[in-house]
């Protein structure tokens, strides 16, 4: 679609490098958050397991 003055339409420029870098950082940040959450859950599971094993050992004696 040309404008009335006969000029060529302005094409949208492709995404800039900064946008791609920002997207990569966003992805890395999300992965880091997921990893942190997973390690917290692992820590909780470890505490639960330790508490359970302590109770089992105490009952055994």
- Indicate whether 5 belongs to any domain: no
Distance CA 43, CA 15 (A): 41
Stated length of the chain = 61
Q: Is residue 21 part of a domain?
A: yes
Predicted TM-score (pTM) of the model is 0.49
- Which residue reads 């339409």 in tokens? 9
Domain enclosing residue 43, as ranges? 16-61
pLDDT for res 15: 58
Q: Are 1 and 9 in contact (CB under 8 A)?
A: yes
Percent of the chain with pLDDT over 70: 70
d(CA 31, CA 24): 11
3 belongs to a structural domain: no
pLDDT of residue 56: 86
8-27 per-position pLDDT tens digit: 666 666 656 767 778 888 89
Q: Write down the pLDDT at residue 37.
A: 95
Q: Please indicate, yes or no, if residue 6 is contained in any of the structural domains.
A: no
Number of domains observed in the structure of the chain: 1
- Give the phi and the psi of residue 16 in degrees, each rounded to 5: -80, 160
- Residue 7 counted as domain residue: no
The owner of tokens 């330790």 is 50
């Amino acid at each position: 679609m040309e404008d009335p003055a006969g000029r060529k339409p302005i094409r949208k420029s492709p995404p800039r490098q900064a946008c791609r870098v920002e997207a990569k950082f966003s992805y890395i940040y999300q992965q880091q958050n997921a990893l942190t959450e997973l390690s917290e859950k692992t820590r909780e599971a470890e505490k639960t397991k330790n508490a359970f094993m302590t109770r089992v050992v105490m009952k055994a004696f």
